[in-house]
Amino acid sequence: MKKRAYGALLGVALGDALGMPSELWSRKKVKAYFGEITEFLPGPTGHLVADGMQAGEVTD
């Protein structure tokens, strides 16, 4: 059971880190700025949540 819980938490953290650069943005804005996000990226300068964050960081 502990392995399953660990796996679930790891999956949540990976998803959060992958989505971090586009958090709170519309699909249209994400597509215009990034095209498609397929790897961990740093937070965009001026972003409300992700400004200054490094690629792969989690937000919560």
Range of the domain at 60: 1-60
Q: How many domains does the chain have?
A: 1
φ and ψ at 32, to 5 degrees?
Answer: -70, -35
pLDDT beyond 90 at 59: yes
Residues 16-54 pLDDT 10s: 999 999 999 999 999 999 999 999 999 999 999 999 999
The confidence score (pLDDT) of residue 17 equals 98
Residue 56 and residue 17 in contact, taking contact as beta carbons nearer than 8 Å: yes
48: its two tokens: 């409300």
Residue matched to tokens 């999956």 = 11
The confidence score (pLDDT) of residue 60 equals 84
Residue 59 and residue 36 in contact, taking contact as beta carbons nearer than 8 Å: no
User: What number of residues does the chain have?
Assistant: 60
Amino acid, res. 3 = K
